[in-house]
Structure 1
Amino acid sequence: MKRIALLSGITFGAIMIVLSFAIAAETILRKFFSHSMGGIDELGGYAVAIVAPLAFIVAAHEQAHIRINVLHGQLPLRARAWLNVVAAVSLSLLALFLLYFTFKTVQDTLAYRSIAQTPWATPLIYPQGVWLVAMASFAIGTLVIAARTVMLAFRGDWQTLDRRYGPGSPQDELEAELADLKARDGMQSDEVKP
Structure 2
Amino acid sequence: MKPDLLNRLHAGAERIAGAAIRAGGVLMLAAALLVAFDVTMRKLFNVTLGGADELAGYAFAIATSWSFAFVLLKRGNVRIDALYMHLPQRLCAVLDFLAVLALGTFAIVLARHGYDVMAYSWSIGARSNSSLQVPLWAPQLAWWAGLALYVVTLCLLLLRSCTLLVAGRFEQVHEMLGARTAEEEAAEEATQARERDLRQGTRFAGAQS
Indicate whether the TM-score tops 0.5.
yes
Secondary structure class of the residue paired with 1:54: helix
Q: Does 1:68 align with 2:80?
A: yes
**Map of 2:5 onto structure 1:** none
Tell me how far apart the structure 2 counterparts of residues 87 and 181 of structure 1 sit (CA, whole Å).
31
Query: Structure 1 unaligned runs (5+)?
Result: none
What is the percent sequence identity of the aligned residues? 24
Alpha-carbon shift at residue 155 of structure 1 (Å): 2.3
Is structure 2 residue 67 aligned with structure 1 residue 55? yes
Asked whether the 8 Å contact 1:96–1:139 carries over to 2, the reply is yes
- Give the aligned residue type for 1:96: I
After superposition, residues 30-179 of structure 1 pair within 5 angstroms as: 30-179=42-191
Q: Which moved more, 1:167-176 or 1:7-16?
A: 167-176
CA distance, structure 2, for counterparts of residue 48 and residue 150 of structure 1: 34
Q: CA RMSD in A?
A: 2.1
Q: Distance in 2 between matches of 1:115 and 1:154?
A: 50
Once residues 197 and 41 of structure 2 are traced to their aligned partners in structure 1, the CA distance between those partners, rounded to angstroms, is 38
Question: Is this contact kept in 1: 2:107–2:147, CA < 8 A?
Answer: yes
CA distance in structure 1 between the aligned counterparts of 2:165 and 2:198, rounded to whole angstroms: 41
Shift in Å, 1:182: 5.8
- CA distances 1:84-136 after superposition (whole Å, capped 9, x unpaired): 11122122112112201211211221333211001101111111122222221
What TM-score do you get using the length of structure 2 for normalisation? Answer: 0.83
| Residue type of the alignment partner of 2:64 | A
- Following TM superposition, by how much is the alpha carbon of 1:174 offset from its aligned partner in structure 2, in angstroms? 2.8
Q: Quick one: distance in 2 between partners of 1:162 and 1:188?
A: 33
User: How far has the Cα of 1:142 moved from its partner?
Assistant: 1.4
**How many residues are treated as equivalent by the alignment?**
193
* 8 Å CA contact retained: 1:80, 1:162: yes
Residues 53 and 134, structure 1, Cα contact 8 Å, conserved in 2: yes
Give the conservation status (yes or no) of the 8 Å contact 1:153–1:161.
yes
Q: Is the 8 A contact 2:121 2:137 kept in 1?
A: yes
TM-score computed with the length of structure 1 as normaliser: 0.89
1:19 is aligned, of 8, 31, 35, to: 31
| Dislocated runs of 4+, deviation >4 Å | 178-191
How far apart, in 2, do the equivalents of 1:50 and 1:140 lie? 17
Cα offset, 1:176, TM superposition: 2.8
